[in-house]
Amino acid sequence: MNLKDFLNEEQYEAVTTIDGPLLILAGAGSGKTRTITYRIAHMIKDLEINSYQILAITFTNKAAKEMKERVRSLIGQVAENMWISTFHSLCVRILRREIEKLGYTKSFTIYDFYDQKTLVKQCMEILKINTDNFEVSEVIRKISNYKNKFIKPSEAISQEAGYREKIFAKIYELYENKLHENNSLDFDNLIFKTIELFEKFPDVLAFYQSKFKYIMVDEYQDTNYSQYYLVKLLALKYKNICVVGDDDQCIYQWRGADINNILDFEKDYKDTKIIKLEKNYRSKANILNAANKVILNNLRRKDKVLRPINSDGEKLKLFKAGSAEEEALFVVNEILRIMKSKGYEYKDFGILYRTNSQSRIFEEIFVKHQIPYKLIGVVRFYERKEIKDIIAYIKTVVNPNDEVSLRRIVNEPKRGIGDATIDKLFEYAEQNGITLFDSMVACGEISTISTRTSNTIKEFVNIIFELREEKELKTSEFIKLVLKKVGYIDFLKNSKDSEAQTRLENIEEFINAAVNFEDLNYGASIDEFLENITLISEVDKYDEASSSVTLMTLHSSKGLEFPVVFMVGMENGIFPSNKCFDEVDEMEESRRLCYVGITRAKDILYFTYANLRMVYGETNFRTKSKFLTEIPRDLIVDINFDGDEKIVQKNESLTKFGKFSYDQKFNEPSKIKNNISKDEIKIGRKIKHKTFGNGMIVKIEDNVDDVKLYVAFDNNGVKKLLLDKAPIEFI
DNA sequence: TAATAGGATATTTTT
DNA sequence: TATCCTATTA
Ligand SMILES: Nc1ncnc2c1ncn2[C@@H]1O[C@H](COP(=O)(O)OP(=O)(O)OP(=O)(O)O)[C@@H](O)[C@H]1O
C-alpha cells in the first residue's frame, strides 16, 4: 500500500510500528482512528499477517462496523476472522465458547439496566433493606463500580468498613449469586467474568494470548480498570499492544473510566514508543482554536499541541434565545437558511445537547417544520414495554433459569396470576431448592393456591413448554408464534391503552428487525438475536448517509464529525450541570465534554442557550454557560434570530451593575472602548462598525435589558444592532 | 386480583 | 412536566 499518500509522517510511523507497545496520544480530529484502520490494513496487506491474529477494540459497535468496512475496502477483500469489536462484544464472543467452565450454560442471558434493577430490588427485599436509605440506582452504581474495578463480592465484603458500604457489599454478593442462579450476566459481568475465566483457567488465557498477537484499542482514555486489566492479560505474551486516545476526551469517568490507564501506559509497558499526532484535519482553525482555549482551563492535564491545517473559516456563532422553543426554532431557521445559502444537506447537521430530556422540544419543533431528523436517544426501541415483554418471553423459553424475565411475563398480559400467588410460588421454590419455574410446574402441590389459579398457572407453563419445543424456528417465526400462543396482539387490540396502536406498530417493526437480522446472519440462532439486540447501542444506529439531521447527546457524539454542529442548551446548571460547581473533577470532565462537542464540527459551530427554560415543570431564568466565556472573544460572534451578527464588545456607560458588571466578572475581561454616556447616543450620530464600516443611527429602541440601534451603513444598508454587543465605535 | 388515583420524585452522561 | 410507585377500592 502506498501509505504515504494517505498519512502524514507521524501517522505513517504509527502505522508501520508493529512490534512492541505503542501509545498514540493525540488530540481530537488528528486521525487516530484513521491511523488504526490503516495500521490493520497494512498488517494484513503488506506484512501478510494473518487477520486471525488481530484484535481491535472500539468504543461502539458502530465504530467497529465502520472500521471493518474501511479495512475491507483498503485491502480489497473480506477478512472474516478478524476480531474488531467492542469490549462487550469481544467478551460475549469468548464467553459463549467458554462460560461452561464457570458454571453457566451457553444460553446465558444478558441483563440490561432494567432487568438489573428488578433483580437488585429483589435482593434488597430479601435482605430486608429499607429503600428509604438505599436507593436502587445508587446500589446499582455501587455494584457497577465494584465490577469496573474487578473487586469480587468476597473482597468487597472483607474490604468495606463503613456501615453503608458493608450493606452495599452484601447486596452485591447476593445479587451476584442470584445472577448466577438465573444463568445471567449483566453488562459489567461480561468483562468481569471473562477476566475471571482467564484467571481461573490459564490454558484458556494462553490460547487467546497466542491468538491475539496484535492488539489495538481505540478511545483508550475511556477504559476502566477491568478493561485495562483484560487488555493487559491478553497482551502479556507478545506485548504488541497499540493504544490510541486523547486524555482530553475522557468523558466516562462517572462510569469508572480511569484516565491514568492512558497516562501511565508507558510506566506499565517497558520500552513504550510514544507517537503524538499534532495536526487536526477535521475542523476549521477558528473552531479548533476555541476548543484548545477551552480545554486549557483544565488544570489537571498533560499539555499538548494541536494545530489546524484548515483555514480560519467562519467565526463561532452564539445565539441567545428567549425560551427553549425559540432556541429550537432558531436551529430550524438556521438549518433551512444555510442549506439554501451554502448548499448543506440535512445530514450535515448535528444537534448536540447535554441531557436526553433536552431533545423533546427539538423533536416537536422539527416535526412541526418538517425537518427530517434522527434521534439517538436513551429510550431504545428494544426497551419499550411491549418489546421487552416479547423479549422476556423469548428469554424465558431459552433460559429456564431466568427468573427476572419469567416474573415479568408471568402475568403479562393479565391472566390472574398476581403478586400473592407469585409470593407463594416463590416461597415454595425457596423451601424446596428449585427454580421459580419448577415450582410453577409443581403448583398443584402447593396447598395455599386455589385450583382455579393453579389451572391458570398450568396453562401458562404449558405455553412455555410448547414454545421450548419450537426453539429451532427462525427468530421471526418464533416471535410470531409467541405472539399467537400468548394472545398478545388480541390483548393489545382489546386494551384501552391509548398507545395500543403504536405498540402494535412497534411489534410489527420488531418482527421486521428479526427478519432483517436473519437476512444478515444466515442460520443464526435465537440466542444470537437476543445478544445482538442487548448489546446494540443507540449510536450504532447513527447513519451518516441518511438524509436527516441528527439529534444526540454530547456523549454519544464522541468519535463522530459533522460539517455543522449546534451545541444547544449552553447554560449553567445544564452544561456544566449544577454538580460541577462543587466538584473540580466533575467540572473538568464536563469541560472535556465541551471539548469533545466543539471538535465534532468541521465547518460551522453554533452555540445556543435560552434565557428562560422550564425545568421540572418550573420556568426559571438561566445564565449562559461558563464554558462560553472561556472562548476568546475574537473567535465568537453573537447573532440574532436570522443569523446576522450582533455583538462583540460591551459599552461601559450602559452596564447596569456599575464598573464590574456580572459579565465582566464571569467572562473574559471585555475591552471597553468608548466612554460614551447614554444621552450621547441619538439619532443622527455617526458610528463605525467592525465589519459593516461607517454608518448613522436612524432609530433607537430602548428596551429593558438592551438597546437596539438601527444603523444605516454607507455601504451595507440598514442593520439592527445591539448597542451592548455590536462591535461599534462612535466617531 | 385488577384498576385507578394521587403523590412523590427526578435530569446528567451509557456499554 | 411526565413518569413511576404505592395505596386504596371495586
Ligand atoms: N493524513 C490525513 N489526510 C487527510 N485527512 C485526514 C488525515 N488524517 C485524518 N484525516 C481526517 O480527519 C478527520 C478525523 O480523523 P479521525 O476521526 O481518525 O480522528 P480522531 O483522532 O480519531 O478523532 P477524534 O479524537 O475526534 O475521535 C477524518 O475526517 C479523517 O478522514
Name the band, by pLDDT with cuts 50, 70 and 90, for residue A710: low
In the annotation, is A33 catalytic? yes
- Biggest alpha carbon–alpha carbon distance for chain A: 98
In the annotation, is A219 catalytic? yes
Closest nucleotide to A131 by C1' from CA: C5
Domains annotated on chain A, with CATH: 3-98+191-277 (3.40.50.300), 110-182 (1.10.10.160), 307-372+546-639 (3.40.50.300), 381-535 (1.10.486.10), 678-730 (2.30.30)
Burial of A571 (0-12, 13-18, 19+ CB in 10 A): buried
First to last CA, chain A: 63
- Centroid of ligand 1 to alpha carbon of A281 (angstroms): 6
In the annotation, is A218 catalytic? yes
Helix (H, G, I), strand (E, B) or coil at A22: strand
CA–centroid distance for A142 within its chain: 20
**Per-residue pLDDT, A133:** 76
Q: How far is the CA of A616 from the C1' of C3 (A)?
A: 12
More confident residue, A75 or A536: A75
The atom number, within ligand 1, closest to the CA of A280 reads 12
| Bridge partners, A648 (sequence order) | none
Task: Report residue A96 as a C-alpha cell.
Answer: 459463549
**Per-residue pLDDT, A651:** 45
Pick the residue whose CA is nearest to atom 13 on ligand 1: A282
Task: Report residue A47 as a C-alpha cell.
Answer: 506484512
Q: How far is the CA of A379 from the C1' of C2 (A)?
A: 14
Taking residue A269's Cβ as centre, other Cβ atoms within 10 Å add up to 18
One-letter amino acid of A151: I
**Per-residue pLDDT, A705:** 53
**Per-residue pLDDT, A664:** 32
**Per-residue pLDDT, A681:** 65
Q: Which residues line ligand 1 (CB under 6 A)?
A: A 7-8, 11, 26, 28-34, 246, 249, 281-282, 559, 561, 599
A522 touches strand C (CB under 7 A): no
**Per-residue pLDDT, A648:** 47
The atom number, within ligand 1, closest to the CA of A35 reads 18
Task: Please tell me the least confidently modeled range out of A34-48, A221-235, A541-555.
Answer: A541-555
Question: pLDDT, tens digit, for every residue of A344-385?
Answer: 999 999 999 999 889 888 988 898 888 998 888 666 667 778
One-letter amino acid of A256: G
Pick the residue whose CA is nearest to atom 2 on ligand 1: A7
Helices (H), A29-162: 32-45, 61-75, 87-98, 113-126, 136-148, 153-159
More confident residue, A509 or A629: A629
- Centroid of ligand 1 to alpha carbon of A30 (angstroms): 5
Closest nucleotide to A414 by C1' from CA: B2
Name the band, by pLDDT with cuts 50, 70 and 90, for residue A668: very low
Question: pLDDT, tens digit, for every residue of A120-149?
Answer: 888 888 888 777 778 888 888 889 999 999
Burial of A545 (0-12, 13-18, 19+ CB in 10 A): exposed
Question: pLDDT, tens digit, for every residue of A12-70?
Answer: 999 999 999 999 999 999 999 999 999 999 999 999 999 999 999 998 887 888 898 88
Within a 13 Å sphere around the CA of A20, how many CA atoms are in the beta-carbon half?
A: 9
* Distance (Å, whole) CA A574 – CA A159: 37
Pocket test for ligand 1, best of A11, A30, A594 (most atoms within 8 A of CB): A30
More confident residue, A539 or A189: A189
Pick the residue whose CA is nearest to atom 18 on ligand 1: A31
* Distance (Å, whole) CA A522 – CA A520: 6
Point out the catalytic residue in the list A10, A160, A218, A403: A218
Cα A353 to Cα A328, A560, A593, A594, A627: the distances in Å are 12, 14, 10, 10, 14
Burial of A55 (0-12, 13-18, 19+ CB in 10 A): buried
* Sequence-separated (6 or more) residues with CB below 8 Å from residue A508: none
User: What single-letter DSSP state applies at residue A650?
Assistant: B
**Per-residue pLDDT, A234:** 96
Q: What angle do CA A617, A112, A64 make, to 5 degrees?
A: 105
**Per-residue pLDDT, A514:** 86
Kindly write down the DSSP assignment for every residue of A422-480, as one continuous string.
Answer: HHHHHHHHHHHT--HHHHHHTGGG-TTS-HHHHHHHHHHHHHHHHHHHTTTS-HHHHHH
* ipTM surpasses 0.85: yes
In the annotation, is A603 catalytic? no
Please identify residues in chain A, positions 616-635, with a C-beta within 7 angstroms of any atom of strand C: 616-617
Name the residue among A332, A327, A274 with its Cα closest to residue A304. A274
Helix (H, G, I), strand (E, B) or coil at A527: helix
Task: Report residue A596 as a C-alpha cell.
Answer: 469533545
* Distance (Å, whole) CA A319 – CA A637: 9
The atom number, within ligand 1, closest to the CA of A277 reads 21
Closest nucleotide to A117 by C1' from CA: C4
- Centroid of ligand 1 to alpha carbon of A280 (angstroms): 7
Cα A385 to Cα A140, A388, A389, A405: the distances in Å are 21, 5, 6, 13
Q: How far is the CA of A618 from the C1' of C1 (A)?
A: 8
Residue A670 has pLDDT above 80, yes or no: no
Percent of chain A with pLDDT strictly greater than 70 = 89
Task: Please tell me the least confidently modeled range out of A164-173, A432-441, A538-547.
Answer: A538-547
Percent of chain A with pLDDT strictly greater than 90 = 47
Taking residue A192's Cβ as centre, other Cβ atoms within 10 Å add up to 23
Tell me which nucleotides of strand C come within 7 A of a protein CB: 1-2, 6
Closest nucleotide to A379 by C1' from CA: B14
Helices (H), A269-323: 285-295
User: What single-letter DSSP state applies at residue A372?
Assistant: -
Q: How far is the CA of A503 from the C1' of C3 (A)?
A: 18
User: What single-letter DSSP state applies at residue A48?
Assistant: -
Cα A43 to Cα A5, A164, A348: the distances in Å are 17, 52, 33
Point out the catalytic residue in the list A249, A421, A456, A475: A249
**Per-residue pLDDT, A683:** 64
Q: How far is the CA of A477 from the C1' of C5 (A)?
A: 36
The atom number, within ligand 1, closest to the CA of A11 reads 1
**Per-residue pLDDT, A700:** 65
In the annotation, is A66 catalytic? no
Question: pLDDT, tens digit, for every residue of A231-261?
Answer: 999 999 999 999 999 999 999 998 899 999 9
* Distance (Å, whole) CA A727 – CA A32: 39
Residue A716 has pLDDT above 90, yes or no: no
Q: Looking at residues A555-571, what average pLDDT do you find?
A: 93
* Sequence-separated (6 or more) residues with CB below 8 Å from residue A641: A319, A326, A329, A330, A333
* Distance (Å, whole) CA A278 – CA A11: 10
A416 touches strand B (CB under 7 A): yes
What's the mean per-residue pLDDT of chain A? 85
**Per-residue pLDDT, A698:** 64
Helix (H, G, I), strand (E, B) or coil at A679: helix
**Per-residue pLDDT, A679:** 52
Q: How far is the CA of A611 from the C1' of C1 (A)?
A: 19
Q: Looking at residues A437-448, what average pLDDT do you find?
A: 86
- Using CA atoms in the order A251, A252, A254, A260, what is the torsion angle rounded to 10 degrees? -90
In the annotation, is A619 catalytic? no
Task: Report residue A508 as a C-alpha cell.
Answer: 410489527
More confident residue, A448 or A226: A226
